[in-house]
Amino acid sequence: MLPPVSRRSLLAAGALVAVPFAVAEELKGSIKLTMPAPNLTDQSLNFIKYLGVEWVTTSGPGGPTYTDEGRVVRGTGDPVTHPDPEAPWKEADIRRIKERVESFGLRVGNLMLHDFRDAILGRPGADKDIENVCESIRVAGKVGIPVLEYNWYALRAMGGYYKVPGRGGAQLAAHDYDRSRDLPVLPDVGEHTAAQLWSRYERFLKAVVPVAERAGVRLAVHPNDPPPPKYRGIEQILGSVDGLRRLCETVRSPANGITFDTGVTREMGYDVIENIKWFGQRDQINHVHFRNVLMQVPRQKYTETFIDAGDNDMMACLRALHATGYPRLLHPDHVPELPGDPGQHAGWGYAVGEIKAMMRQL
């Protein structure tokens, strides 16, 4: 069991000192469209430029991916853009990423943080993991990266996914909890209760958020996606709006926020507009994933679909974000796969076109 964080240690780290918060290279003004750039290849960056999108979201060194069972796989990176995937981040590596993106006339708005398994799972290396996260945040602030996204997954609930046909022969991702609810515990990961995960998470937030405040960096945790209540013996504490609200209340700061995912919010069975207002009024929406779903059973059964074909009124979602004064990035996500298009260029282009048309109506 990890030792508690004492008031003295927090004071030593500056966690209880009130510091004015101003994000490095703050994203101001109106909502900004962004796209992912896998591995920062020429092809991916040129495609973003081709679509007339200015902002890029990508993974920092060591950014995680996931196995079919939901285990985290630490990214190895690219020898040019991500030469050192080990945490904590090095300033030269983050500058290299930024310069690479800017060389295409684009801007970096969000980097995915490296994983920190020991802190999430309560293992002996937890303190070191937290130190690494703090140092990576400081580096991001120095380089001028405004938002760092991260996941709090003990295990990602990948076992319920499958494919279903969509319009025009498209392949849509679907999820059914019946496919995964009886899967066994993974011995190398173990079982983890909500109480254990919350204890570790609250300790993590109280340590890293003050560092983010001083660095001028906003943190954005993504909801558990998929969001079933439990997976392989692990409770999914960020698989509900109640969980997301709890983390925001744990440390009330603009630096401690969420990636508001319109798709996951609907998957969890909640009113998307109402929750945009709740999180937006607190200035704790630090990133947005903008997508649509057909929801059948909250947290259990749904289909990810075209942006204009699901249960969400996406224009109403966009107007609600605009009404809160949200000025940061809007990221289309989980686009359908079309036949003969393994890069999903048609899916991304369709989503970007739809969003651009909606943004002109704000």
Write out pLDDT tens, residues 265-284. Answer: 999 999 999 999 999 999 99
pLDDT at 74: 75
pLDDT beyond 80 at 6: no
CATH 3.40.50.720 fits 24-359, yes or no: no
pLDDT beyond 90 at 192: yes
Strands 107-112 and 147-151, sheet pairing: parallel
The rounded distance, in Å, linking the Cα atoms of 95 and 43 is: 21
Residue listed under structure tokens 């996500």: 333
**What is the tens place of the pLDDT at every residue in 119-156?**
999 999 999 999 999 999 999 999 999 999 999 999 99
Q: What is the four-CA torsion angle of 32, 34, 40, 44, rounded to 10 degrees?
A: -130
For 253-306, the three-class secondary structure string (H helix, E strand, C coil) is CCCEEEEEEHHHHHHCCCCHHHHHHHHHHCCCEEEEEECEEEEEECCCEEEEEC
Residues counted in the chain:
362
- Across the chain, mean pLDDT equals 92
Q: Quick check: bond before 226 cis, omega within 30?
A: yes
Q: What is the mean pLDDT of residues 149-166?
A: 96
| Model-wide pTM > 0.85 | yes
Least confident segment among 10-24, 39-53, 179-193, 207-221: 10-24
How many angstroms separate the Cα of 336 from the Cα of each of 69, 239, 346? Answer: 22, 23, 9
The rounded distance, in Å, linking the Cα atoms of 120 and 282 is: 26
Half-sphere exposure of residue 310, counting CA atoms within 13 Å on the CB side? 30
Residue listed under structure tokens 């080990």: 86
Residue listed under structure tokens 């003050």: 210
pLDDT at 236: 97
Cα–chain center distance at 77: 18
Q: Quick check: bond before 88 cis, omega within 30?
A: yes
pLDDT beyond 70 at 331: yes
How does residue 81 score in pLDDT terms, banded at 50, 70 and 90? Answer: low
pLDDT beyond 70 at 238: yes
How many angstroms separate the Cα of 172 from the Cα of each of 51, 128, 233, 303, 347? Answer: 23, 40, 28, 7, 11
pLDDT beyond 90 at 96: yes
How does residue 79 score in pLDDT terms, banded at 50, 70 and 90? Answer: low
pLDDT at 77: 61
pLDDT beyond 90 at 8: no
Q: What is the mean pLDDT of residues 17-34?
A: 69
The rounded distance, in Å, linking the Cα atoms of 271 and 41 is: 38
pLDDT beyond 50 at 168: yes
pLDDT beyond 90 at 18: no
Radius of gyration of the chain (CA): 19
pLDDT at 11: 35
Q: What is the mean pLDDT of residues 330-349?
A: 93
Q: What is the mean pLDDT of residues 75-88?
A: 70
Is residue 221 within 8 Å of residue 238, measured between CB atoms?
yes
Q: What is the mean pLDDT of residues 77-106?
A: 86
DSSP secondary structure string for all residues of 26-50: ---SS-EEEEE-GGG-HHHHHHHHH
